[in-house]
Structure 1
């Protein structure tokens, strides 16, 4: 990976980045951090958010950061009030958006619990992922339509979950769009293999994540690795030893994770899926358990602790009370914005697409055969080479039949949700809801849960035909 600030050129290319969700307290700060340290591209970042004041605060923060003596980047940050203005003549569009969690995400997590459906994350699949998809599809149609009108040649880089549905919607609305989805879950497994290399290879010391080459295939948060190498050395052959060293995989005690980080990951589910199917599942365990029903069939939610993970409560999704946001704390001086090596690849990818330095990484992109036995056009996660205004997916091969059957269920549900979203067909979305493996309750209870979620979040579902939906009438 390119090290930020490591090289400069006399006249760096100038680009415009249109940021949708520019009031972000997370990804926007990462972008500010990385641009401030990059010498070989320059330009303007137009920050758009439905919360204009948050975007304006981030614009001020970005300006202050790049003005530091320690910063190398030549960037201007500005907040804009209209999506059209943010994307007009943009070279790159970045998306990281989220509806207010207290009005949406809290219901996505808490209501299914009342029906016995537990979700550690609730942003990709399961009831929470489906409702989030239903909210996101109209938003991403608008983004894609604006790209078509205002910057049709721009590259669109999406960070928003549900990653697959959001990226797929961009292509459905504007088939000629140039869009990719980025997720950092696989990075953790590259770090795992770096540790494995150091444990098993005498010559491997201080192995960096970027030195690990993995073959990635699947869909976002349900991705699989069947090959891992360090400097040409096979690391996959050590997985059986690693598996045995971790047994019993579900050996943590219920309650033992109560004080752990919500995002703790001990790779126990990942290795359990390897033990079952012979491929290493390459996402955090808290994501993986939502794709298959058996881990979350719990009488007591604390039983999930046996796998070394815990549930993220809805309270963790809420802002920190009525206090200042993170951006406001940076601006007031109550908290310091320290420049760091973020490990994220957005700036590297922009550099690659400008022809400065190629990048090979994993990303989400329509299937052109890179996963040979998943449907063409469905958004899949595999490795790709990015260079000179081009993305070339790298063939990852096929998934074993037993793994493909699990993945395909979710591909079909995601495709159904996108089609239903373009039709505004709530009853069809409910059929995808019924088909989700986590919806193990009977049909009537599922209809009640779905209807209650829709009613609670009705103001965010205005693009759907709610008046004629049979599922709401019953």
Structure 2
């Protein structure tokens, strides 16, 4: 398949920029909403300790005990001999106090998956929908959005009151729903949705260049024209140290690398995070653009690969992240995550200060007037992606410089790919609109739009929707459940 390169896309920066307050690297106040996090906060603590910034981190969480534990860990890390920065950590259960005058706000929260996430996975499966992750789209992703959006509207309102000019970085899934909701509540917010899927994809391209072209490249050497929506991004050009990578990618897609098949037994003992890119290669062969996120996420947007249940999904090398994994991950003693604050604090596990590999500190450095930096971000569409709705949150590269994050103009899509994306944009926009006044019937319309749900008869979709509501009603108290016709009509509610 032929490929037409766009002209110098990396220099096209005409999309509207997000512009916020200037950062003083010697005195930064960070408010962390979700400060009891067992993964993100410990990673941030280490990155900050190794940074060129000094300041204060306020850890806010409804679970104050968890935030206090992270604050103790953060202050302990400051004593590490390799720490280069000076930070102090405090914990609080008062959101307003955490946000007051903050320069940077980080958002990273999650409800108990044993009461929510497991139902997002198991209930659709009982209707024949074998979602791979169920976290950002599909019936599970939509319900995660319905649980999360009302809370984040309150966060946005509090930011407007207490730190209206702060830089706000959202790490909470579903990133596109949540970031869009922040802007829907507070249009003047300087909010950026962050995700590391594209970073991992850049690592993959660097590895291809090293393995097949004899190069010595890493993520920083890769330039790719990123465009789409979170977890359903695409590229139409890629370079490594100025070398056009597209001929190699085309060869790989049509050769042994891109045409592997798998049996369920091949994946039985493997990690669900292993990604052989077979879905990506298949989509490239059909559409001429290369998806640029993990296959486990892509299959939930390009839903052909979910057909046939476990065998159909495994055939492409994708292993489901099941409800048992999600429940286990919530229990520290059984979790496979790499951070363990309690064990580090008690001395039961040796602690080595090391960078997480995330890009947040690079972004903050550029915002403070340091070296300009290009990375992928999620922002409202102000022209950076052609053909997708204005205002919808899209993902592209952006140039980060002093007090500014400016999306790079990425062009548009061939009609078939644009159609795939537009369906999901319509779902996201409909849920966000429904959440303004808790209109459950309006949210159900978005539910019916989803390609996973469209494999069902409407009556079955209604029953599944009502069953999902029933399973997690305590987390949907911002929605007018008693006024919903869809619930009254469903036998299972």
After TM superposition, list the pairs within 5 Å mapping 1:138-217 onto structure 2. 138-202=150-214, 204-205=215-216, 207-217=217-227
State which of 233, 242, 247 in structure 2 corresponds to 1:232: 242
Instruction: Report the equivalent of 2:107.
Output: 95
1:321-349 deviations in Å (ceiling 9; x for gaps): 47498322222122233222321011111
Cα deviation, residue 228, structure 1: 0.6
Cα deviation, residue 317, structure 1: 1.1
1:59-112 deviations in Å (ceiling 9; x for gaps): 001111111112112000110111111111000000110011011001111111
Task: Report if aligned partners of 1:249, 1:307 keep a CA contact under 8 Å in 2.
Answer: no
Q: CA RMSD in A?
A: 1.5
Instruction: Report the equivalent of 2:413.
Output: 399
> Quick one: distance in 2 between partners of 1:291 and 1:396?
20
1:151-188 deviations in Å (ceiling 9; x for gaps): 00100001010000110011010000001011111112
> Quick one: distance in 2 between partners of 1:348 and 1:111?
41
Structure 2 SS opposite 1:102: coil
Structure with greater contact order relative to length (CA < 8 Å, sep ≥ 6): 2
State which of 127, 136, 158 in structure 2 corresponds to 1:124: 136
Structure 1 SS opposite 2:395: strand
Instruction: Report the equivalent of 2:479.
Output: 464
Structure 2 SS opposite 1:103: coil
1:229-269 deviations in Å (ceiling 9; x for gaps): 12221111211211123367351123210110021100111
Structure 2 SS opposite 1:463: coil
> Quick one: distance in 1 between partners of 2:258 and 2:86?
53
Structure 1 SS opposite 2:436: helix
> Using a 3 Å threshold, how does the CA distance of structure 1 residues 231 and 250 change in structure 2: closer, same or farther?
closer
State which of 315, 318, 330 in structure 2 corresponds to 1:309: 318
Structure 2 unaligned segments of length 5 or more: list them: 1-23
Instruction: Report the equivalent of 2:380.
Output: 366
Cα deviation, residue 425, structure 1: 0.5
Instruction: Report the equivalent of 1:6.
Output: none
Instruction: Report the equivalent of 1:451.
Output: 466
TM-score (norm 2): 0.91
Instruction: Report the equivalent of 1:253.
Output: 263
Instruction: Report the equivalent of 1:414.
Output: 428
Instruction: Report the equivalent of 1:338.
Output: 352
Moved more, 170-179 or 341-350: 341-350
> How many residues align structurally?
460
Structure 1 unaligned segments of length 5 or more: list them: 1-10
Instruction: Report the equivalent of 1:383.
Output: 397
Structure 1 SS opposite 2:311: helix
> Quick one: distance in 1 between partners of 2:461 and 2:445?
10
Structure 2 SS opposite 1:31: helix
Moved more, 317-326 or 430-439: 317-326
Cα deviation, residue 199, structure 1: 3.5
Instruction: Report the equivalent of 2:276.
Output: 266
Task: Report if aligned partners of 2:384, 2:407 keep a CA contact under 8 Å in 1.
Answer: yes
Task: Report if aligned partners of 1:97, 1:160 keep a CA contact under 8 Å in 2.
Answer: yes
State which of 124, 128, 136 in structure 2 corresponds to 1:112: 124
State which of 416, 441, 453 in structure 1 corresponds to 2:456: 441
> Quick one: distance in 2 between partners of 1:321 and 1:179?
31
> Using a 3 Å threshold, how does the CA distance of structure 1 residues 189 and 430 change in structure 2: closer, same or farther?
same
> Using a 3 Å threshold, how does the CA distance of structure 1 residues 370 and 449 change in structure 2: closer, same or farther?
same
